[in-house]
Amino acid sequence: MFTASQRAFMGTCVALFAASTALTIQWCRSMSAMHDMPMPGGWSMSMMWMRMPGQTWADTAAAFLGMWLVMMIAMMLPALVPMLWRYRRANALTSHAHIGALTTLAGAAYFFVWTLFGAVAFLAGAILTSMEMQLPLLARSVPAAIGVVVLVSGLLQFSGWKAHHLACCRAMPDCCESMRADVRAAWRHGVRLGLHCVHCCFGLTTLLLVVGVMDLRAMALVTAAISVERLAPGGVRAARFIGAILVVAGLFLTVQAAVGW
């Protein structure tokens, strides 16, 4: 039987997931209502990387990071909850009175790392968008570049680098040193967990960014892939199976873009 604290933890996670998913769907629908800009090469540029009239770049970046954080909560929470559960269990005996606050802090640190990743992604996306609008040759190469990104994302799934970070994500906190049940240790654990997760999901998240960060279908597929490799038995085999699919898709997209050039 679950204790009252455990029920509160699971209830909070379910409510947070439901709220973030609903907001993400709403934002995706509002973005789809905006017409993308047709570009040389037969593709369309999302308006989310552009500064709207009357907006400063700070406003644009803040709006993107807000959407990004909510989206990351919706996408990563299913895989994060078991890790936070193990964290609670590891510290329950030494800090039962404060375990809820420490778990919340660890989760906040985890999403802080993802927010920093989003800031870097926005900067890179804004720069590339500006370059693509000024250089037609670069814009025409985007479909081929997307195929290459998908291919490389698939190949990363077979790497020892991926296997190492996936193993740490699946085993946390067991793969780290013993943790003290205090604020500093909780924040440090969440940051470490977030860094492992960013490294583990780098290929899949980059894939989402280039395919369509506000595309609900792409988002659902990437979320399912991350959850399966993180939670299913035989996570490395699942990651490699996903990688094989991406390699085939990347080769197809690259060849298709080359033929259409």
What is the per-residue DSSP string for 170-214? HHTTTTS----SSHHHHHHHHHHHHHHHHHHTHHHHHHHHHHHTT
pLDDT value of residue 119 = 95
pLDDT value of residue 168 = 87
pLDDT value of residue 41 = 64
Give the C-alpha separation, 230 to 242, whole Å.
Answer: 12
pLDDT-derived band at 179 (thresholds 50, 70, 90) equals low
Q: Strand pairing partners for 39?
A: 43
Q: Is 180 helix (H, G, I), strand (E, B) or coil?
A: coil
Give the C-alpha separation, 17 to 73, whole Å.
Answer: 7
pLDDT in tens, 103-126: 999 999 999 999 999 999 999 988
Average pLDDT over residues 168-179: 61
This model's pTM is above 0.85 = yes
Check pLDDT > 60 for residue 175. no
Rounded to 10 degrees, the C-alpha dihedral 173/177/179/185 comes to -90
Using N-to-C axis directions, what is the helix angle for 142-156 and 202-212, rounded to 10°?
A: 160
Check pLDDT > 50 for residue 24. yes
Give the C-alpha separation, 183 to 180, whole Å.
Answer: 9
Check pLDDT > 70 for residue 78. yes
Average pLDDT over residues 127-136: 84
pLDDT value of residue 76 = 95
